[in-house]
Amino acid sequence: MIEITETNYHEEVEFKNVDHSKQKLVGMKFELCTFINCDFSNTDMADTTFVECTFVNCNLSLANVNKTAFNEVRFTKCKLLGIDFSKCREFLLAFSFTDCILSSCSFSNLKIGGTQFEKCIMHDTQFVNTELIGCSFDGCDLRDAFFDHSTLNKADFRNANNYTIDPEINRMKGAIFSRIGLEGLLVKYGMDIR
């Protein structure tokens, strides 16, 4: 098992079973690194940079990502409860999520067009003034997710479920929905759809 050292720069390193919960990784840079079965819950990751990194089966719940850079980062089967991604560095921000728990997170005020969310649980997640052009929510559970004044043009919600989106306050040109999911666009009108 390789530990994360106080060295500021790590390149092409695989970290397995590292418990760094409630600790600091402030100002470090990780490039082309892989994190497997690691615990970063409540970790202070402020001003840390991740470039082309992969997180698999990791817990990052309640991590502080203030001014953190995520550039082409993939999260698979990770637990990311309560993370305020709106505090991340926006320059080159790009990530994807597969089979992750993203409940109670905030993506507000971000431009994350093209982001892939696949089979994620996203309960109570906030998308306020978020640019989501061309995003995919394939197989995602969006129960109580909040979309407010966001741009959802060409976003794909065909296989998403439990979403409620107000078309009057969100831009949705070319967004894709299944017929079964149309109820989530009409909830505010109090209709009984069967």
Do 54 and 22 fall into the same domain?
Answer: yes
Q: Assess whether 51 and 108 both reside in one domain.
A: no
CATH code of 152's domain: 2.160.20.80
116 and 174 co-located in one domain: yes
* Range of the structural domain that residue 62 is part of: 1-96
Indicate the residue among 61, 96, 131 that finishes a domain: 96
DSSP result, 19-39:
B-TT-B-TT-EEES-EEES-B
Residue 159 inside a domain? The answer is yes
Residue 179 phi/psi, 5-degree rounding, is: -60, -35
- Least confident among 1-5, 10-14, 100-104, 184-188: 184-188
Q: What would the pLDDT profile of 101-152 be if each residue is shown by its tens digit?
A: 999 999 999 999 999 999 999 999 999 999 999 999 999 999 999 999 999 9
- Identify whether 40 is part of a domain: yes
Does 25 lie in the same domain as 11? yes
* 54-56 vs 69-76, strand pairing mode: parallel
Domain finish residue from 62, 96, 130? 96
Are 126 and 84 within one domain? no
Mark whether 87 and 120 lie in a shared domain.
Answer: no
**Sequence-ordered alpha helix ranges (H) in the chain:** 183-186
What is the amino acid identity at position 131? E
- In this structure, the answer to whether residues 33 and 17 fall within a common structural domain is yes
Q: Are residues 90 and 129 in the same domain?
A: no
148 and 76 in a common domain = no
Tokens read off for 67: 């001014």
Q: How many structural domains is the chain composed of?
A: 2
Model confidence over 79-105: pLDDT tens digits? 999 999 999 999 999 999 999 999 999
Question: For residues 3 and 96, what is the distance between their CA atoms, to the nearest angstrom?
Answer: 25
In sequence order, what E strands does the chain have?
9-11, 14-16, 29-31, 34-36, 49-51, 54-56, 69-76, 94-98, 116-118, 126-128, 136-138, 146-148
Per-residue pLDDT, 188: 53
Give domain status of residue 149, yes or no: yes
List, for residues 22-69, the tens digit of each pLDDT value. Answer: 888 889 999 999 999 999 999 999 999 999 999 999 999 999 999 999
